[in-house]
Amino acid sequence: MHISKTRFGTLPDQSQADLYTLGNNDISIKITNYGGIITGIWTPNSEGKPENIVCGFDKLEHYLSNEYLGSYPYFGAIIGRFGNRIADGKLKIEGENYQLAINNGANHLHGGNVGFDRRLFEAEIIEKENLVGVKLSYLSPDGEENYPGNLKVTCIYTLNQLNELTIQYYAETDKPTVVNLTNHTYFNLTAFRENVMNHELELAATRMTEMVEQIPTGKIVPVVATVFDFNTPRKLGDAGLAFGYDDNFVFDNNGALEHVGCLCEKTSGRKVEIYTTQPGMQLYTGYWIPELIINGQKKFGKYSGVALETQHFPDSVHHKKFPTTLLKPGEIYDECTVYKFITE
């Protein structure tokens, strides 16, 4: 196991972002404390060739560019305070109304205009015998993006000898608030030779949240015998959906860390197994990922990556029957997701 730290770049306020490389004998993962972004994951294919399998950049300047932010896909970032959408940006906590930013159609998305994905975290290296990682910490002040409460957030990324990337999220508040943290990494197991529509996905989800224009109706509906049924592996492109998938699936793990899915791609021999304590996962096949010119070359574009965002449900602040995202003083937000990388 090994870990190293290098300078990643300078932010507009002249603060410095760093890049942490976590590695073992098989894989290498790069993470910056700017936005907690996973910038790259190198895993071997069936012939033993290591390649990057996630959407990201090797320079900070690309994450800051107007071209990237203009069609912002949140590559690899920590999302918060509230991942996914809140209808009309309206939030009510203990009788108090809060109007959040409207930054996605008529709704609030991924924490607002400047979410955790664009904040600089304090970082601390973790080194143990069979594990390396980085502990990222951020204090979101009361009123940031109009959310109530001083929120202390900790995100711990670790890599072990079993090729498991574990993401642990913790949060504490001094005032009732809402929290829904996730990671927005996009995977492409072909290392971008093809798009992701031939990737096969299996999910331990028999239900999903019914959605109208990306906002839940409040109903939990069955997926069996529909295009949303991944209980047996199916290709992401098989359904022929006009915009692909951007949907929240419901797990029955009751807060325990359980195996909930597997993404695989046969030509590369790569697999990613997913374990989580979270009650749901947003499957997004990346229809709106922009095509960018990076170092003179076209990169990314529609369906170039698939995001597997373990989370609490979208707009759960307006649906009492959904798992709560309310966090009160004295409580600890505690969620965990594991991505295990396998090559056959």
The catalytic residues are: 184, 309
CA atoms within 13 A on the CB side of 108: 27
CA 121 – CA 34 distance, rounded (Å): 6
| Tokens 């996905």 -> residue | 201
Instruction: Sheet with 151-160: list strands edge to edge.
Output: 122-128, 131-140, 151-160, 164-173, 333-343, 270-276, 258-265, 200-203, 234-235
* Residue pair 20/155 in contact by the 8 Å Cβ criterion: no
- Write out the two tokens for 308: 């597997």
- What are the E-state strand segments in 147-304? 151-160, 164-173, 177-178, 182-183, 186-187, 200-203, 207-212, 215-222, 234-235, 246-250, 258-265, 270-276, 280-284, 291-294, 297-300
By residue count, the chain amounts to 344
CA 312 – CA 325 distance, rounded (Å): 7
The beta-carbon contacts of 23-31 under 8 Å, at least 24 apart in sequence, are 23/132, 23/159, 24/159, 24/160, 24/161, 24/163, 26/163, 26/341, 26/343, 27/159, 27/163, 27/341, 29/157, 29/159, 29/165, 30/56, 31/134, 31/157
CA 217 – CA 295 distance, rounded (Å): 44
